[in-house]
Structure 1
Amino acid sequence: MRARGRERVPVVVQSLGRRRTPARLLWTAAEAVVTCGVVLLLLVVHQLWWTNQEARAEAREQVRVLEREWDISPPVPPPVPPLVPPSVSSSVPPSVSPSVSSSGSSPLSPPVGGGESRSSSAPSAAFAVLRIPRLGLTAPVAHGVSKRSVLDRGYVGHYPGTAAPGRSGNFALAGHRNTHGEPFRYLDRLVKGDEISVRTRDATYTYRVDQILPRTAPRDVGVIRAVPRSLVKPSYGYDAPGAYLTLTTCTPEFSSAYRLVVWATLVPGR
């Protein structure tokens, strides 16, 4: 009886659950970090790769549609007014005069795609094709500089209120430097003397790079005026009217802190 009373009963302390709790927390945290990393990686891939592929494909297709339509239906010359004897010229109503202004300019032709024409006033209506041989760039030019309907589709945007291609004034354009087709990714590689062509339904116009403004403020609206001159750096720009082409994009790369500006002048007879 005494021997049995002296037997010790083993006591087991359940501490495994407490030891595993920190490990489980660390494992959960590690899983969360890995998941966040994968999601961020997918976002980067989407932004830097997929948006480019998607926008470039749409831009290439738009260029094909435009040029196919232009080749099938070339521009129609303005009607020639009928010869009117001097004795009756005063009785001819104004409506028979040619529909061309005294400057020789004409409204931009709306593009045609899928068998239907779209109004040239629509923000995403492409009306021209921009080519920069040095950069190997071919891109459609659309009305407006909206990100959603123009720039994010890989198009180059035409600043509202600026001149038409080939006309007196400033034909001012904007384009993405990174993502969404990034047509102006290598705009900083242009040098003075490089040629840039702009094709419309009516004609192809050639411009020659004349000045480059490496960096200016985003609100430097002087660079897209009819006679372009930087308001931030007045030593860059022009003093006299002419036929100018302005290309603008963000700088430095992957930033929108500043703007890079390239100016070109129309080459007569080209």
Structure 2
Amino acid sequence: MNHNPPPAAGRPAGWRPRPAPEQPTAFLPKIDVLHAGPQDQRFIPEPDEEDTGWIEDDDRLESPPPPKDTARKVVRSFGELFITAGMVILLFVVYEVYWTDLISAGKQNQATSSLDSQWKDQDTVGNGPQRGTHYDLAEGKGFAKLYVPALGADYHFTIVEGTTDADLDIGPGHYIGSALPGQPGDFAVAGHRVGKGAPFNDLDLISSCDAIVVETETDWFVYRMLPTKDEVAGWATGKGAQPQCKGVAPLGGPYAGLVGQETVLPSQGDVIAPVPHQANLQLPAGQQASLMTLTTCTPKFSASHRLILHSVLTNQYPKDPKHPEQVPPALKETD
């Protein structure tokens, strides 16, 4: 039985349709490029790095080439060097300003205790301390005490003999050979301004007529700062008329031109001469004024110059061993 379909009209007998061509076994699938959405996180591959044709029309600026390794190393090395140097300087400042203060404070306390014991021992011998100008002077050893009420009621230091580094580490030091407290001439004392106790840190804050009190075993001596250069002209009718300034006035004669505060070079050692600034002038003791000169470095943290304060003796009060609590009224002139 013939199962072939009958030929269509117009087709010859025995005609068969041509079989359809076979489909290829390999083909490129269609890739849908979709933007990743919250529900469809598809990975979109980046183009091959070697295939740069697709960025031919990119107008972006190219990134500058990275610096050379040598330059980077040099910059880093200098940076580390500067940081290290800064740390060294900072540690030095801490040592110079704070640590040396602690060390000097201990030495100052020891010198004060030793002086107090000495004065107490002398008080118990005979009728008390001998009156006169006797001083037990030994370099680095205390022999007097210094008070500046204007710098506070707690301002006091023991003055030691000598001005070497070791002496000044203890406290204010007396220039060997200069006058002693209360004597005619110039009682000259040096002190550090920064570090090592810094007894003269605020020396520039002392004003004319401010009291500088020196205590010895037998007496209290009150010196007062001389007028400053800009106060000399109108002194008598100006500040000089204040009760506190009694006994203070511009000096004349060989002392003409001497003022309470000045700045000099370190080489100008004649500022502590018996007649300041006139080292070659020799006057009889009866013609000499009784002065006190304080010296320190200026400006702070520098030794390029010296700050000088000149004061004149205005009062002397003998100590009463029976009433050691009695002190000069000037000690109460605190700010």
Q: Amino acid of the residue matched to residue 35 of structure 1? A: T
Report the counterpart of residue 56 of structure 1 in structure 2: 105
CA gap 1:24/1:170 in 2 versus in 1, 3 angstroms = closer
Superposed displacement of residue 221, structure 1? 2.8
What pairs up with 1:36-115 in 2 under 5 angstroms?
36-74=85-123, 105-109=132-136
Of residues 144, 151, 157 in structure 2, which corresponds to 1:128?
144
Of residues 309, 313, 334 in structure 2, which corresponds to 1:266?
313
**TM-score where L is the length of structure 1:** 0.67
Q: Amino acid of the residue matched to residue 41 of structure 1? A: L
Superposed displacement of residue 132, structure 1? 0.9
Q: Amino acid of the residue matched to residue 293 of structure 2? A: T
Q: Amino acid of the residue matched to residue 249 of structure 1? A: T
Superposed displacement of residue 163, structure 1? 1.1
CA distance in 2 between counterparts of 1:246 and 1:264 reads: 6
Q: Amino acid of the residue matched to residue 204 of structure 2? A: D
- Give secondary structure in 1 for the equivalent of 2:296: strand
Q: Deviations over 1:145-203 (max 9, x none)?
A: 112x111x141111111111122221111111122111111111111111111122232
CA distance in 1 between counterparts of 2:268 and 2:126 reads: 39
Of residues 269, 273, 278 in structure 2, which corresponds to 1:225?
273
CA gap 1:245/1:40 in 2 versus in 1, 3 angstroms = same
Is 1:195 the counterpart of 2:243? The answer is no
Identity %: 30
User: What 5-or-longer segments of structure 1 have no aligned partner?
Assistant: 1-18, 80-99, 110-119, 233-239
Q: How many residues align?
A: 210
- Structure 1 ranges of 4+ moved more than 6 A: 19-22
Q: Amino acid of the residue matched to residue 160 of structure 2? A: A
CA gap 1:68/1:107 in 2 versus in 1, 3 angstroms = closer
CA distance in 1 between counterparts of 2:82 and 2:71 reads: 16
User: What 5-or-longer segments of structure 2 have no aligned partner?
Assistant: 1-67, 227-258, 280-286, 318-335
Report the counterpart of residue 112 of structure 1 in structure 2: none
Higher strand share: 1
Is 1:250 the counterpart of 2:297? The answer is yes
Of residues 236, 239, 260 in structure 2, which corresponds to 1:212?
260
Q: Deviations over 1:6-32 (max 9, x none)?
A: xxxxxxxxxxxxx87766665555444
CA distance in 2 between counterparts of 1:241 and 1:165 reads: 14
Of residues 241, 253, 261 in structure 1, which corresponds to 2:288?
241
CA distance in 1 between counterparts of 2:91 and 2:105 reads: 20
CA distance in 1 between counterparts of 2:174 and 2:156 reads: 15
CA distance in 2 between counterparts of 1:160 and 1:63 reads: 20
- Give secondary structure in 2 for the equivalent of 1:58: helix
Q: CA RMSD in A?
A: 3.0
- Please identify, of 158-167 and 59-68, the stretch whose mean Cα deviation from structure 2 is larger: 59-68
**TM-score where L is the length of structure 2:** 0.55
